[in-house]
């Protein structure tokens, strides 16, 4: 069995991988949903857009479910505290996601313009709201969340839903929304042709530039925000006890890891370069390469957030010493070990069947295909 501290680091990395997998895989079909009402101008064009992701969207949800399950099992204190503090925000995400399965399954069952248009906007809500909320949540994590623990490690959240919608968090929401729209646009451009592809490329290029502007702006803003720093001795092998340390807040603390490890600057560099190269490749019609570089940009954005906060996972603004970190909020060594080996077995299976599904259903989705397969297509 691996030592406890190593397992804690491994699961910090694995949760990051799952978040990145969710952003890349479920993110591109959410991005397609966001673009749906704008790049499809009539019923056939919108069915073309929907059919690029229709066969895959539910399989991509595996990343979302697995990510949530991994947080629950690996960081139970984080899961309990986050879902308590962000309760209404998570409900908004859940309500928005309701539109996706119903919209994909029932949108084209009835030949009625009002019915179909309603579900098109439902799919737009299901694709655009979750990335915005997730970005706002990360923006709040970087500022600290108002929660505290009592002696029995029962958490109390003292904020409210409207406090989550602060300016920095909304800017982080713009970063998240723009990068997911870019990701969806790169995928949609690869799967379509003609006027739909032209409109998609314009939209995805705009999203890429917006992501870069918002990401760079958030980076400069972050330097003036009070970050968190542990000032006491850290026992990396200790059992979960977030109250056993001392934490201070100071401006620029989130930049400390970049000062100590300059190679971490490659992550924000990857985010910016990936988005800019994506916009160029889309203009040149290298759509598959654009999807790859867009995915790398997502790796850069999420990696930047993780590297900035490490070892913090969920800082507390009302009781800094109660901040949850990689070292003091993880499950037991046995739990982390069993989960690790389960991941080693099942992760390749997930990647394998996903790759097979995309290889079987590759190629362009065209208006002619929709007309010829009116009852089979979405």
* pLDDT tens-digit map of 345-358: 988 988 898 889 88
Looking from the CA of 287 toward its CB, the CA atoms found within 13 Å total: 19
Domain count, the chain: 1
| CA–CA gap between residue 42 and residue 26 (Å, rounded) | 25
- Spatial contact of 35 and 363, defined as CB atoms under 8 Å apart: no
| CA–CA gap between residue 183 and residue 66 (Å, rounded) | 21
Residues whose CB is less than 8 angstroms from the CB of residue 125 and which lie 6 or more positions away in sequence, other chains included: 96, 99
Q: Is the dihedral of CA 305, 155, 332, 349 positive or negative?
A: negative
What pTM was estimated for this model as a whole? 0.92
Q: What is the mean pLDDT of each run of 10 residues along the chain (378 residues)?
A: 89 94 92 94 92 87 87 90 86 92 88 91 95 94 91 83 90 97 96 94 96 96 92 85 90 91 96 97 95 97 95 93 92 92 89 87 84 74
Two structure tokens written together for 301: 């954005």
What is the structure's pLDDT at 374? 73
Domain ranges, residue 96: 4-372
- Spatial contact of 121 and 37, defined as CB atoms under 8 Å apart: yes
- Spatial contact of 294 and 288, defined as CB atoms under 8 Å apart: no
Q: Residue 2: is the preceding peptide bond cis (ω within 30°)?
A: no
Condensed to tens digits (0 to 9), the pLDDT of residues 165-190 reads 999 999 999 999 999 999 999 999 99
Decide if 190 is inside a domain: yes
What is the structure's pLDDT at 314? 94
What is the structure's pLDDT at 99? 93
Decide if 377 is inside a domain: no
Two structure tokens written together for 194: 């003609």
Chain mean position to CA 191: 22
Two structure tokens written together for 13: 């990395």
Q: How many C-beta atoms surround the C-beta of residue 353 within 10 A?
A: 12
Residues whose CB is less than 8 angstroms from the CB of residue 348 and which lie 6 or more positions away in sequence, other chains included: none
Decide if 271 is inside a domain: yes
What is the structure's pLDDT at 1? 65
Decide if 378 is inside a domain: no
Decide if 64 is inside a domain: yes
**Among 184, 79, 188, 95, CA closest to 133:** 95
Decide if 223 is inside a domain: yes
Q: Are strands 312-314 and 147-149 parallel, antiparallel or unpaired?
A: unpaired
- CA angle 351/356/357 to nearest 5° reads 100
- Spatial contact of 129 and 298, defined as CB atoms under 8 Å apart: no
Burial track 134-173 (b if 16+ CB lie within 10 A, e otherwise): bbbbbbbbbbbbbbbbeeeeebebeeeeeebeeebbebbb
Residue 157, beta-bridge partner list: 147
Tell me the Ramachandran region of residue 144: left when phi exceeds 0, alpha when psi lies from -120 to 50, beta otherwise.
left
């Amino acid at each position: 069995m691996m030592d406890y501290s190593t397992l804690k680091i491994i699961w910090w990395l694995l949760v990051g991988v799952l978040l990145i997998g969710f952003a890349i895989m479920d993110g591109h079909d959410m991005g397609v949903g966001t673009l749906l009402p704008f790049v499809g101008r009539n019923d056939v064009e919108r069915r073309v857009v929907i059919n690029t992701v229709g066969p895959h969207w539910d399989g991509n949800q595996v990343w979302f479910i697995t990510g949530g399950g991994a947080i629950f099992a690996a960081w139970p204190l984080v899961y309990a505290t986050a879902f308590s503090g962000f309760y209404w925000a998570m409900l908004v995400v859940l309500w928005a996601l309701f539109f996706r399965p119903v919209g994909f399954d029932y949108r084209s069952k009835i030949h009625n313009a009002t019915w179909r248009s309603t579900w098109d906007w439902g799919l737009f809500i299901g694709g655009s709201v979750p990335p915005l909320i997730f970005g706002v949540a990360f923006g709040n994590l970087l500022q600290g969340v108002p929660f505290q623990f009592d002696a029995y490690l029962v958490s109390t959240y003292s904020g409210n839903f409207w406090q989550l919608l602060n300016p920095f968090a909304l800017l982080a929401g713009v970063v998240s929304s723009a990068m997911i729209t870019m990701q969806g646009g790169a995928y949609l451009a690869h799967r379509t042709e003609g006027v739909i592809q032209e409109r998609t490329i314009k939209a995805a290029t705009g999203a890429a530039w917006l992501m870069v502007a918002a990401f760079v702006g958030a980076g400069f803003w972050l330097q003036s925000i009070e970050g968190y720093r542990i000032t006491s001795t850290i026992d990396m092998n200790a059992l979960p006890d977030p109250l056993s340390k001392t934490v201070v807040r100071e401006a620029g603390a989130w930049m400390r890891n970049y000062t100590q490890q300059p190679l971490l600057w490659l992550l924000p560099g990857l985010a910016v370069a990936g988005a800019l190269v994506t916009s160029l490749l889309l203009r040149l019609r290298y759509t598959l390469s654009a999807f790859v570089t867009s995915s790398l940009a997502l790796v850069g954005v999420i990696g930047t957030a993780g590297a900035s906060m490490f070892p913090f996972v969920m800082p507390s603004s009302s009781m800094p010493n109660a901040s949850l970190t990689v070292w003091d909020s993880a499950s037991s060594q046995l739990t982390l070990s069993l989960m690790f080996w389960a991941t080693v077995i099942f992760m390749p299976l997930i990647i394998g069947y996903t790759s097979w599904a995309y290889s079987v259903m590759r190629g362009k989705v065209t208006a002619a295909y929709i007309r010829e397969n009116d009852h089979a297509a979405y």
